[in-house]
Amino acid sequence: MYLISGLANSASYYLRLWTKDDAGFWSAASPEFAGLAGEGLPDAIAGHVRTSPGQGITGVLVEAFNASGAAARTAYTVDDGSGSFTAYGLDAGVYRVQVTWVEDGIASSVSKDGIPVGYADADFTLSVTYTLASVSGVIPATTRRSQVTSHRSEAIGYSGVALYQQGRRVAAVEAEYDGSFKIANLLPGDYELRAPGMAPLPVRLRSGENLVVKPLGELLAEDSLYAYPDPARTWVKFRFRTDDLSVKKELSVFNVAGLLVKRVRGDDPGWIGTGNPYEFRWNFSGSDPAPGVYFYKLNVKSQTTGKSRVKTGKFAVIR
């Protein structure tokens, strides 16, 4: 491989090649061929990491080693479908570029020597046998602040979703307005999902898996809503569980004729607990409510995602 540096960006060049043998004799000129100079990168080396079929891989570690063998800069391939990377902040010179990837806990590396600063086609093809995977989900509202997107992998002020592997951040993405996110083209293995306002979440990706995670847990846990005692005499308690502490809640009680008997909202007195579970106690007053069957409806809405759920039930009052 021959590298010619110092060319003007996006300019056309015409080249011919002569070779010299051991006796000092030069060959005839080769046929003329043309080329277009690529992108100028005054302090960086860029390229791609792909699978054999050409699919870009996200989260591959890229290291640029200088002439003394020291790691001068690190980067990670980004989730752009092409497995792109750019190692910025390099001094002028020639580097060895090494890529390291982890498949199911096993690290492997491959490198290329003689890559000069400014080179934009340091491409690697990995002979992996796995199908790439993805992880998606919804994060809390506290993470949804704007951030600067960049191919730079140095410390960036970041407030979205980050994916870590073996203690290193390998991918990052900004969540959508509703808190949804997706990181694709990942090798299978063990990761950790992190975002401000939520505890680190272990993630295990299998080959070809499109994993949907729920950092917020359940908006309304299945089979967690009920009223007791049933039948009730002097009081009844409604109970439910949610893992989303941002919920707004409204509980309504109706008689068999469909008439509203009682309604309580989240800021009304009488609620007990912080979500695991929530409870509301209704103390009866005199003969109210009358004996009979009653229906209740709970409406919960997440202030984080905007999603809502409604569940119903019934209980009896005896005197």
pLDDT of residue 32: 83
Q: Which residues face 279 on adjacent strands?
A: 239, 272
- 189 contacts: CB under 8 Å, gap ≥ 6: 102, 103, 104, 105, 165, 204, 205
Digit-coded pLDDT (tens) for 61-103: 999 999 999 999 999 999 999 999 999 999 989 999 999 998 7
Strand, helix or coil for residue 231 = coil
Pairing label, strands 133-138, 210-213: parallel
pLDDT band at 11 (very low <50, low <70, confident <90, very high): confident
Domain ranges in the chain with CATH number 2.60.40.10: 12-126, 133-213
Percent of the chain with pLDDT over 90: 51
Phi, psi of 200 (to 5 degrees): -55, 135
Judged against a pLDDT cut of 90, whether residue 258 lies above it is answered with yes
Judged against a pLDDT cut of 90, whether residue 299 lies above it is answered with yes
CATH 3.40.50.300, applies to 226-317:
no
pLDDT of residue 275: 62
| Burial (Cβ within 10 Å: 0-12, 13-18, ≥19) of residue 172 | buried
Q: Which of 20-34, 37-51, 213-227, 281-295 has the highest mean pLDDT?
A: 281-295
- Mean pLDDT along residues 153-167: 67
Integer Cα distance of 299 and 247 in angstroms: 10
Integer Cα distance of 17 and 285 in angstroms: 101
Mean residue pLDDT across the chain: 85
pLDDT of residue 50: 96
> Six-digit token pair at 63?
């290291």
Radius of gyration of the chain (CA): 31
User: Can you give 274-318 as a three-state secondary structure string?
Assistant: CCCCEEEEEECECCECCCEEEEEEEEEECCCCCCEEEEEEEEEEC
pLDDT of residue 151: 41
> Six-digit token pair at 35?
């080329």
Judged against a pLDDT cut of 50, whether residue 197 lies above it is answered with yes
Judged against a pLDDT cut of 60, whether residue 263 lies above it is answered with yes
Q: Across 2-132, where does the E strand assignment appear?
A: 12-15, 33-36, 45-51, 61-65, 71-76, 84-87, 94-103, 106-116, 124-126
Phi, psi of 110 (to 5 degrees): -150, 150
Judged against a pLDDT cut of 50, whether residue 157 lies above it is answered with no
Digit-coded pLDDT (tens) for 16-71: 888 888 888 888 888 887 765 656 678 999 999 999 999 999 999 999 999 999 99
12-126 fold: Immunoglobulin-like (2.60.40)
pLDDT of residue 5: 65
pLDDT of residue 214: 67
For the domain 133-213, what is the CATH superfamily, name and number?
A: Immunoglobulins (2.60.40.10)
Q: Residue 127: left if φ>0, alpha if ψ -120 to 50, beta else—which one?
A: beta
